[in-house]
Amino acid sequence: MSQPPDLPLPVARSVASLRQTVADWRKAGLRIGFVPTMGALHAGHLSLVERAKERADRVIVSIFVNPTQFGPTEDFSKYPRQEASDAARLAAFGVDVLYSPSVEEMYPAGAATTVSVGVVTERLEGVFRPTHFSGVATVVAKLLNQVQPHVAVFGEKDYQQLLVVKRLVADLDIDTEIVPGPTVREADGLAMSSRNAYLSEEDRAVAASLPATLNFVASQLRSGVDAGPILEAGRARLLKAGFREVQYLDLADAATLAPLERADRPARLLVAALVGATRLIDNIAV
Ligand code: AMP
């Protein structure tokens, strides 16, 4: 693997060149950390890189906008792609290798295997994005087989995804420790997301009511009262603030995502809502 003249760190674009580097590091007894992303990097991604650096001698970040996790009407083609500026940020953060395969490298002609994780995928995102988690599980299984990291860091921002990845790794005996990273937020509380770039100024002001509502609802739920009426009030508050649709605002068991009537055990409050054409998700511990 070489360092292209136009990019500030070594880039692997093929599975073969990635494997060569990883094999050399493993032979030298080095611990390998991995952060998978879809690029358009922000401080949330970089916080995961920090966590990986704390736990490993070498860190690989992947940038791959995975077509199979987008639904037919979703934003795959317009998803932001900015490899050169992402690479500069990763180099400045001390990342050792950027892994940036093409769609053809990841899914060669004839590929016919998908990974399907049950139970934890059934509710919440699984209802509104029915093909999403099989795309995620398949690409994460492939990435973990390609990189073979000792540790991989995933954000709590995508809380259901984090649980799906933990399930996948346990069920397929993948020898990688999955470490969660807390959600990094803007000054007004909005969770950082590559999709925030889609928000108009007006939408951006509406979006700030998402974390505010989560905090309000969670503080009520922490007193142990019935969730139903409080969740309903939360949904109404989001619509009043200018959200076009609230797909879900639900209380769930933090480990299984089974629905909860009240927060009588470790719980998570999760939301998906549409502002303009943009779909935002967020969650917090209760
Ligand atoms: P993405 O590029 O959106 O696929 O995200 C790549 C990784 O970054 C996933 O593990 C996300 O959960 C994580 N992530 C995204 N946004 C944030 C954030 N605001 N704080 C922490 N982690 C995040």
Q: Residue 33's CB: how many other CB atoms inside 10 A?
A: 29
Q: So what's the pLDDT on residue 248?
A: 98
SS3 label, residue 100: coil
Q: So what's the pLDDT on residue 1?
A: 74
- Tens of pLDDT, residues 194-235: 999 999 999 999 999 999 999 999 999 999 899 999 999 999
Q: So what's the pLDDT on residue 253?
A: 98
CA distance 4 to 84: 11
The residue to which tokens 């879900």 are assigned? 248
In a mutational test of the pocket of ligand 1, which residue from 42, 45, 193 has the highest number of ligand atoms less than 8 Å from its CB? 45
Catalytic annotation present for 45: yes
Considering only CA atoms, which residue is closest to atom 17 of ligand 1?
44
Return the closest-CA partner of residue 18 out of 128, 148, 120: 148
Distance 50 CA to ligand 1 centre (A): 13
Distance 155 CA to ligand 1 centre (A): 5
Q: So what's the pLDDT on residue 251?
A: 98
Q: So what's the pLDDT on residue 3?
A: 76
Pocket residues: Cβ below 6 A from ligand 1: 37-38, 44-45, 47-48, 154-155, 157-158, 181, 183-184, 191-194
Asked if residue 79 lies in contact with residue 69, where contact means CB atoms within 8 angstroms, the answer is no
Q: So what's the pLDDT on residue 7?
A: 77
pTM: 0.98
Residue 58 phi, psi dihedral angles, 5° rounding: -135, 140
Residues in the chain predicted with pLDDT less than 50, given as ranges, are none
- Please identify, by atom number, the ligand 1 atom nearest to the C-alpha of residue 40: 2
